[in-house]
Structure 1
């Protein structure tokens, strides 16, 4: 099938969706949106009690809800969890690599463990998820891989966010490489870059650019459904900010971050 033909049918085929980090925040929000549309969901998270409570709430609306405990830093376990969930749903149409961590400390201040844990979760753990998802998609010869990166991937952030932004930049680079590899194929790859959205990971951040959770989730779901290749979300103010961070001189962008 041609790329044009494939894109024309995605709206009816992306029914079986796996979301990691689904027990709270953006993952929970996306799960609620897709469940309300009657999709079949495979939800993973470390906090299984919260995940099961969410699944119970979503089952009346969703076509199906399967759950599994998953710590993405236990990289050896990821393929088995993804495979079991794919079997339970009868395949996967979309995998949303969302599980992430926002710990961090200024580099060189004696808190290396927090920075290493962040990189292990957001980059190494994400790579394990990508490997598992694409193994399933290659066997099916179809699928939509969604990587939840960050606006911080565009321009490295200082102090406690340096390792976090590096991990998300690595994830974005993985997505770009995969987009080139799977161009003109029935496997598509989207990279989303959320700005400040009100979730636990942004608790304590004070900025006028913070979006409420509903607005942020709606923007993310819209970009996912369009299968955008690269999308800052919400579009305002993050599309123009992304352009500024990519194109303005360092002397200016350093003051922006």
Structure 2
């Protein structure tokens, strides 16, 4: 458990399931005050109640990362309530797998809006607050798909390559704000449950069932990056199942 001086105010997007929910539980158990955001308010309420019941500290707020004003309000309420924002975990993401010739343009745009634009909105919302304090930590959840391209995943990979690139650019621009990009491989989550080509999504689910690591393993990697002492920046963490090619 962290001491009071080590306790951080941590914003987590996409916190209602998967990596976001696991990260909320892990950081809450570590003694940080987690501020949870997602569209599914009922799930956020249950998660926040569970963290508090276990002795942690949690707030929650409905959040749409594709809406800049929603993200600004999410960060602004946290800042007003707690006086600072120490960390944001830009985790919200969607993955609709299909070949490009299927021309599922609405799903392409959704991945761009959530995965990339949502991350940019998170950065835009907290960067002025962190710059004013001269301290802060931005953690962007990318994917091993930021480092390779697979059939049916071209657009998803493109968005995650972009998240990696903007994270590296922000790192190079920053001297007082830490920047980490965490890239998970196959992880147990709801990513393959919605949208995409049914066959492609089913194949991804089958692979995940064989290989996937628990979301808690990724949460541990995020906790590791956040726990580094001031002046130490864990810029990039890639975590995947040992058996993943």
- Please state whether the residue corresponding to 1:215 is helix, strand or coil: helix
- Please state whether the residue corresponding to 2:60 is helix, strand or coil: strand
List per-residue Cα deviations over 1:179-228 (Å, max 9, x = no partner).
1011xx22110011111111111561415442133333323422443441
Corresponding residue for residue 234 of structure 2: 228
Q: TM-score, normalised by structure 1?
A: 0.81
| Structure 1: runs of 5+ lacking an equivalent | 1-10, 242-255
Corresponding residue for residue 138 of structure 2: 145
1 or 2 for the larger relative contact order (CA 8 Å, sep ≥6)? 2
- Please state whether the residue corresponding to 1:144 is helix, strand or coil: strand
Corresponding residue for residue 181 of structure 2: 191
Query: 1 CA distance for matches of 2:215 and 2:170?
Result: 29
Quickly say closer, same or farther: Cα 1:27–1:219, change in 2 above 3 A.
Answer: same
Corresponding residue for residue 199 of structure 2: none
Corresponding residue for residue 162 of structure 1: 154
1:175 to 167, 174, 180: 167
- Please state whether the residue corresponding to 2:207 is helix, strand or coil: coil
1:38 correspondence with 2:44: no
1:237 correspondence with 2:242: yes
Runs of 4+ in 1 over 4 A off after TM superposition: none
Two-structure CA RMSD over aligned residues (Å): 2.1
Checking the alignment, whether the CA contact within 8 Å between 1:105 and 1:112 is kept in structure 2 is no
| Structure 2: runs of 5+ lacking an equivalent | 194-204
Moved more, 69-78 or 165-174: 69-78
Across the two proteins, how many residue pairs are aligned to each other? Answer: 226
- Please state whether the residue corresponding to 1:96 is helix, strand or coil: strand
2:100 to 101, 107, 124: 107
Moved more, 89-98 or 203-212: 203-212
Corresponding residue for residue 61 of structure 2: 68
1:26 to 4, 14, 19: 19
